[in-house]
Amino acid sequence: MPGDGHHKPLMPIACSRLQMTVSWRMNLLSLIFTVLATLASIEDAKVDSGKWVHAGGNITLRYDGEQSGRYRNVSVMKQSKLVRRMALSERSYSLFEYDPDPATSPDGRYVLVTDVESGEVGLSDGRDSLHERQYCGFIDTRSGCVLARQTGQFCGGQFNDAGAWVSPALPDLTLSDGHPTAEDYASGRLSPSDAPDGSLDNLLRCDPLGPSNRDHYRKLIDAEIFDVTPSQRKALYGG
């Protein structure tokens, strides 16, 4: 039929135009998401300008949410991009302490952050006394994982040329070997807390969900070790 000869050559052109339209829309959506993510990062930097410190290399820390000279939140930026913003809840006993010269590993992979836990201690005469303890931990500037949070002489250490943390309290610590895992929580070696390193968010940054640790995350869900939302449960449990 004459009609068939007229319309058949147009079909590939129509498909090509459809593919171009879909591709254009996907690229537009990708651009929109990129712009929104950039704006969110900029807005985060604007909220309560707080207190900034250059931590060496291309790493910057910003403290905000000032409270009696300490801070409820700290943001870690690398090459001006937000790695992680840690916001301590009101129920946390800890506040971050500003450090004018934070220790940074030679390769810029880890930066030291300090927090102080405060609480009332009952005395024998019935009075309460404020007790404080300083802790320090490291933020992995790639993942945002907080690891190796310790107190005492550990905090007085320094990085050696090989990037290990050397302190009077413990043997040299290679930080890449010291991150918490889902197995640590599933086995009871670690327990969740309101401290900077004790949240589910931190665990997922330190030990991302994958085939090798899914069973441990399932154990965490079954034992109700962390409070999780239905969507988190589905993602972590795999069902």
> Is residue 60 located within the same domain as residue 38?
no
> Are 172 and 186 within one domain?
no
Domain membership of residue 236 as a residue range: 180-239
Dist. CA 34–CA 183, nearest whole Å: 35
Same-domain pairing of 166 and 228: no
**Amino acid (1-letter code) at residue 42:** I
108 CB-side CA count, 13 A: 14
**Which residues, at least 6 apart from 83, have a Cβ–Cβ distance to it below 8 Å?**
76, 77, 139, 141, 142, 143, 144
Helices and strands, counts by H and E, the chain: 6, 10
Same domain, 111 and 139: yes
C-alpha–C-alpha distance, residues 133 and 110, integer Å:
23
Q: pLDDT, tens digit, for every residue of 67-92?
A: 989 999 999 999 999 999 999 988 88
* Total tally of structural domains belonging to the chain: 3
Q: What is the DSSP letter of 68?
A: T
Pick from 100-109, 153-162, 171-180, 222-231: least confident: 171-180
Instruction: Please indicate, yes or no, whether residues 55 and 68 belong to a single structural domain of this protein.
Output: yes
Cβ(120)–Cβ(131) under 8 Å?
yes
Q: Encode pLDDT of 195-205 as tens digits.
A: 999 999 999 99
Q: Does 16 share its domain with 95? A: no
Same domain, 24 and 62: no
Give the end of a domain, one of 145, 177, 209: 177
Mark which of 177, 195, 219 sits at the end of a domain. Answer: 177
Kindly tell me if the per-residue pLDDT of 15 is higher than 50. Answer: no
Q: Are residues 198 and 237 in the same domain?
A: yes
Looking at the fold, whether 133 and 86 belong to one and the same domain comes out as yes
Same domain for 152 and 58? yes
Looking at 124, 158, 177, the residue that finishes a domain is 177
Q: 163 and 61 in one domain?
A: yes
Co-location of 228 and 115 in the same domain: no
Residue 193: which pLDDT band, with cuts at 50, 70 and 90?
very high
- How confident is the model over 118-139, as pLDDT tens digits? 876 666 666 666 779 999 999 9
Q: Whole-prediction pTM value?
A: 0.75
**CB–CB of 93/194 below 8 Å?**
yes
Percent of the chain with pLDDT over 70: 74
CA–CA dist 200, 224 (Å, integer): 12
Beta-carbon contacts of 207 under 8 Å, excluding residues fewer than 6 positions away, are 179, 180, 181, 182, 213
**pLDDT at residue 13, as a whole number:** 44
